[in-house]
Chains A and B, each alone.
Chain A
Amino acid sequence: MTTRPEISKAELADQFRTFIDPDYVIIDDETMKPYECDGMSMYCEMPLLVVLPETVAQVQRVMRICHEHGVPVVARGAGTGLSAGAMPNKEGVVLSLAKFNRILDIDPLARTARLQPGVRNLAISEEAAQYGLYYGPDPSSQIACTIGGNVAENSGGVHCLKYGLTVHNILSVEMVTAEGDLVTLGSDGLDNCGMDLLAVMTGSEGLLGVVTEVKVKLLTRPEVARVVMAGFDSVQKAGDAVGGIIAHGIIPGGLEMMDGHAIVAADDFAGAGYPREAKALLLCEVDGTEEEVHEHIAEAEAVFRKLGATSVRTSQSEQERALLWLGRKSAFPAVGRISPDYYCMDGTIPRRHIAQVLTDMQKLSEEFGLRVANVFHAGDGNLHPLILFDANVPGEFERTEAFGAAILKMCVDVGGCITGEHGVGVEKIRQMAVQFNDQELQQFHDLKAAFDPTGILNPGKAVPALKFCQEYRSLEHKQHKHEHTEAAHG
């Protein structure tokens, strides 16, 4: 889709150097190397050049120049994304917001924080802690990931069922448009006149604008939080227990499930004292006032026991709560220890299909000859299957990708979606054609053009070209027919 830039790399760099510290206009391969990928390191590309502006006015000038010459721009935060959304464009500029790392203001009474986009997610809560406040969305990468990236991805975390995603926790975003204009979407008020462009911007994966400031809402730290851990001898029973808790009228602060593989790996890694013989484990955190938590914990324990839990344990101290969570939070590195590589998927399904989906996934695992461990934001239906593979075995990554694609299709088939929080990026762009038809995808392209008429912002990501989709669908169709025929013959 991109046309060859009309301006040479040297000319572009020279123009940038007239207003940006020349040390931060990077053109040599060695210094650009760390920018070649984000957290999804299977997808790499070297950019034309990398630029690190220090002021909003500089960002505007970069955008104006790129817009004028049709040079692609890929905005980048900490580069922790898991869908290659920040993978560079080889003919384009990587616009790093790393220098915008200041917390500008915290208002404890209004419970808001004004942030530059490069502020790390966890740093917000650390700074707000002195006022008894914190920032809600807590993606696993929160130590490193930035709020600008969180806006781009509409990041979630483990507390979404009760506290929502990024889109529910921000008041306004200041951004530079593709044409270099500085605009503010949203305000200090809770809603605004006109179209809700803030909602569209949130989760737009860097295709609609470059975030230069974010105002977030802060939440009051609950009086108390306790976690109930329940082991089950089947995934089905654990799935039913999730429904049981919700049906009981309890909205847990966090409700997480792990399968057998993940339980053992996490317990080996963190020594959390998980029931290693269990086939499924639930961690159910209840937060609120002392009285409320007391009431709901007792109810949750009773629900789990009634629905066949083989073990139930409730944290008796903050230390114990932290330990029980440590296992879950280290599940990814823990699984990393039992396999040379792993590939993290991110589909969402209606909760009632959890047992069926996990059973079918196990069948696929056998078909593809690849192990899969599951950690699951059970409260909101967001699955994270971790496919274990070895990149050094020829063909194994391709097989892993095919397995991953089959999992995502399964998610869509039961009424779910291909990505709950990691974004589409490059990685899942083919699967967009499974979830959306051509008219819907065209509407996305038209909407993008309303923000970015010349298509310079993160081209080739998030929404596939229609021609590409037709090819992918017909390929899928052929494969499907082929499998069908084979099955019939077998």
Chain B
Amino acid sequence: MADISQQLQEQVLQARASGEKLNIVGGGSKTFMGREPSPGAGTLDMSGHTGIVDYHPVELVMTVRAGTPLVDIEAALAEQGQALHFEPPHFGAGSTIGGTLACNLSGPARPWAGSVRDQVLGIRLINGKGEHLRFGGEVMKNVAGYDVSRLQAGALGTLGVITEISLKVMPSPAASLTLVQDMAIDEVLHYMNSRAAEPKPITAACWVDGKVYLRLSGAKTAVEATAEKWSGDVMKDGQAFWRSVQDMQHEFFAEKDAPLWRFSVGSTADNPGLEGDWFIDWAGSQRWFRGAGELSDMETQARAAGGQVNLFRGGDRTGEVMHSQPNALKTIQRRVKSSFDPDGIFNPGRLYSWM
């Protein structure tokens, strides 16, 4: 529970003066993501920058230091019957909220509850000039200034050091249950999307290994009445199943060194014709593929499905791992990067080789 922002700021200023580069590290649970961290760079350790700064359950807003572990945040929320509705994955006990935002990671509820990007209301950030800045705020509606807070989601820490985050939080659902049934992959996209289009309390929909899983959450009566109407068996350990999906502990993800591709595509788009194993989540919007291949070939498949792909884990991480950018956007993103970090101090090459 300490505020070390001044120390962090000094380290950035020192790095700037000496021309050093910095890899930003929180709990260290997501080092497998992005391109290989730059070997010559020093470490900016966020793990000491922890603690809940402000939490008013009635406001549905919590402000925390970026190095705070997710488990601590979730425990504090649970005491008040609230939760992070975007269900952030825990890749280890040390997973922090700052890393979650930088990597834009959200769990099975994402299509309905929104992502971490959707729930962030404001941040404090140390930019590459060593300035400690505040953007957004602690209120849900705030259109003063550009949305620098959400810009951090998925930027993998390339724009600055996120030191503090204000998030929208929500009440935990009163009841929850999971329906499971057998279904072939070629039927499941239509099925999941049709169910999602019904005015029912669906909060998760995935398919793996020939079975489709739908979660219903909300008022008890509504959950039970919907389960009566819909087909599928009520799963005994539904909660544990979704936890394993959220944290990528499900056996589908067990082989940690094999290339794991993440397709973020249109929910109804035909599944790419690739030989290998699929895990379809987010009612079709997020599809995991286990198998070898070249990024450029995967991109062709992803584009045909209206979206993008990245090499989420494993494989060669010295080359590009993210869906490529068209030239005009590459130019803008390079300029955005230098507007925050003119000397290129933070996480060099982590997102793209050219950044």
Contacts and interface: CB of A to CB of B under 8 A. Distances in A.
B232 interface: no
Given A189-B266, A424-B144, A292 B114 contact: no
A336 interface: no
Contacts of B145: 424, 432, 435-436, 440, 444, 462-463
Contacts of A15: none
A409 to B, nearest CB: 13
A443 B265 contact: no
Given A189-B266, A295-B222, A199 B199 contact: no
A177 B171 CA distance: 41
Nearest to A432: B144
Q: Main SS of chain A's interface residues?
A: loop
Given A191-B104, A421-B143, A164 B118 contact: yes
B66 to A, nearest CB: 17
B197 A295 contact: no
Interface stretch (B20-28, B150-158, B239-247): B150-158
B201 A289 contact: yes
A292 B218 contact: yes
A107 to B, nearest CB: 7
A294 interface: yes
Interface stretch (B7-15, B89-97, B126-134, B179-187): B126-134
B267 interface: yes
Contact of B219 (A296, A432, A450, A451): A296
Interface in B244-295: 263-269, 282, 285-286
B272 to A, nearest CB: 13
B139 A417 contact: yes
A64 to B, nearest CB: 13
Interface stretch (B42-50, B70-78, B302-310): B302-310
B333 interface: yes
A450 B335 contact: yes
A425 to B, nearest CB: 10
A187 B139 contact: no
Interface string A130-171: 001100000000000000000001101000110011011000
B336 A193 contact: no
A296 B220 CA distance: 11
Interface string A200-213: 10111000100000
A453 B137 CA distance: 28
Interface in A383-420: 415-420
Interface string A339-382: 00000000011111000000000000000000000000100111
Contact of B340 (A153, A168, A349, A443): A443
B153 A199 contact: yes
Nearest to B150: A199
B59 A190 contact: no
Contacts of A199: 117, 147, 150-151, 153
B327 to A, nearest CB: 8
Given A192-B308, A249-B171, A351-B59, A109 B266 contact: no
A194 interface: yes
B131 to A, nearest CB: 5
B314 interface: no
A420 B117 contact: no
A42 interface: no
Interface string A266-310: 000000000000000000000011111011100000000000000
B52 to A, nearest CB: 16
Contact of A203 (B104, B143, B171): B143
A168 B222 CA distance: 25
Given A109-B197, A199-B153, A191 B221 contact: no
A230 B115 CA distance: 34
A192 B222 contact: no
A10 interface: no
A483 interface: no
Interface string B225-240: 1100000000000000
Contacts of B133: 439-440, 443
Listed from nearest, the 9 A-B pairs whose CB atoms lie closest are A188-B306, A189-B264, A189-B307, A188-B266, A199-B150, A420-B141, A450-B335, A291-B221, A446-B339
Given A196-B104, A292-B222, A453-B335, 9 more contacts: A109-B268, A191-B115, A196-B152, A196-B153, A289-B226, A295-B221, A348-B140, A382-B139, A416-B139
15 contacts: A109-B194, A111-B197, A132-B199, A153-B143, A188-B307, A189-B263, A190-B110, A191-B154, A193-B308, A193-B325, A203-B146, A288-B219, A289-B200, A449-B339, A450-B332
Interface of A: 107-112, 132-133, 153-154, 156, 160-161, 164-165, 167-168, 177, 179, 181-183, 185, 187-197, 199-200, 202-204, 208, 220-223, 243, 246-247, 249-251, 288-292, 294-296, 348-352, 377, 380-382, 415-424, 428, 432, 435-436, 439-440, 443-444, 446-451, 453, 462-463
